[in-house]
Structure 1
Amino acid sequence: MDFLSSVAGKNITFVRPAYFIISGFIGIPNMKYYYVFLFLLYIMSVLGNTAVMVVIYLDLNLRAPKYIAVFNLAFVDLLGSSALVPKVIDIFLFHHYQIPYSDCLIFLFFCYTCLSMQALNLVALAYDRLVAIIYPLHYQMKVTHRFMFSLIVTFWFIAIIAMLILIGLLTRLSFCKSVVINSYFCDHGQIFRLACNDYTFNKIVAKFLTVLILYVPLLIILCSYICIGKALAKAATGQERMKAFKTCTAHLSLVAVYFIPILITFSMGEKIHPNDRIINLSLTSVFPPMLNPIIYVLQTQEIKVSMKRILKDRRQSKILLK
């Protein structure tokens, strides 16, 4: 509050640089091979997530409320990958290290919004599994299309407002020293630490939103599976427990793919070399969007059946046209 009051009460001129310089991968050897690797991951992510979205859209059998969340997750993965990877390749492969100030903030907004939505979307899927296993007889009343759609819209609202707050606070900072961002994209933490005026409030808000959007969803998901575990322990037979657990394997895999790499990288802190940290974080940004559709296609029977049916229908239609 003191920071905001001091800003509101004084006529302050904020120094905004014409551009930032993204330097994260500069100096790391053999990075051209890594860019090829990122590009391949991006292509797989685009194809996989587009396929999941098309199958859910075309197949009338996939109209259960949970597939609203699955469709949204595929959309978020596609949007996030498209916002990040092509720009990263353009910056480092073609040496376009300078990025205009406003473009950098837009870049930050899309990347962080999609990362936030990935975590929040996993909460929606966790709720779906919780109700399906603990309250199977009331599932259709508790998890309706309207409820799931409203939940996803609410999560989008939270993610967008949170990122607008972060960006709004960045615009209140002056950058009269270095403009070099030691990251692979317009990283919020790296940007506010470049400011030459007090960024304490930015740091506090960033930590609060990290807890709200990363750790609170993880805690909710863990609590939901503790409840699921207790419910499964009361199941009559081991076969019933295994059948119920199999319905959770896809979601558990998504949770592990998203949260474990981030938590490991963050927990290592300063023990990890800056270059290793940058590469690890870049991988945590591109691997989940690529793996999520593969996990759902392989572990969700309904989607596998739908994809086989659509491919079979297309083959039959081509035969008839001949």
Structure 2
Amino acid sequence: MALNILFMGTTKFSAKVLENLYNSKHRVICVYSQPPSKKKRGQKILPSPVQTKAENYKIQIRIPNDLKNPEELDFLKSIKPDVVVVAAYGKLIPKEYLDLPNILFLNLHASLLPKFRGAAPIERSILKMEKETGISIMKIVPKLDEGPYTRQIKVKLNINTTAGELSDKLAQLGSQAMIHSLNDLEKNNINFIEQDHNNSTYAKKIQKSETKINWQQDAEKVIAQINAFNPNPGAWFLFKNKRYKVLKAVKILKSEAPGVVIDGNLTIACKKNSIQIISLQKEGKQVSSAKEFLLGNEIKKGTKLS
């Protein structure tokens, strides 16, 4: 018998998971998402990708500010889901929810637990220049991302992997793994493996200060920084008091003082070796290739970038 799912998620990653669950044999009976946020320009109110997707599917949507409101707990009890699926929701699930009988809480986490527990596993795996990452389907427990897992899928990483590309890939693979896990649950055949807590690492939330390019790093680390923050929030440098977000760059075997532009092709020296910018975005402008950018903007050889 198909399972009744309550889904909790907020981001683009979550929306892809919701889409796949909606198209499975199981039934998504309600969706929870974070409340709409204000866009900086014009303060326009924007619903989350998950809220938009749920409204398109005509699924009941709830956007509480606080899950600890007794009204929300009572509502969850009233709809009697078989399982609650969580994917990048952005809020901790209170213990009183997890203690409800006959409801399993499953989380799709974008890392190979116990590595990279926390808010930013995709970005941190790229920043750390990991060779592989993946997804884990885990049972939610009160402690953050410490529950046992029922499935893991590994994915290889390389120097060109961006956070956006990896997020899309993991959302698709994770959706499939979640559906397989739900099928196991439906057959009363779901098993869990305890995490090795001694080998856990934490993927803390990305801070704004981390997104400014640090030319005092080796070129490989600068490229990892660019890829980890592509497409958002973007790794950037300053030139004439304007921000320039770098979206793609390659390593060049040239040396100069860190931060110095060493030729007319947007090649910039790092602590070891250099990067050549392939695409970038000037503050307030559209993304452009370095070649297009240089037609209308002159960053001269010898310029020191900050």
Q: What TM-score, normalized to structure 2? A: 0.28
More helix by share: 1
More strand by share: 2
**Which protein has greater RCO, CA pairs closer than 8 Å, 6+ apart?**
1
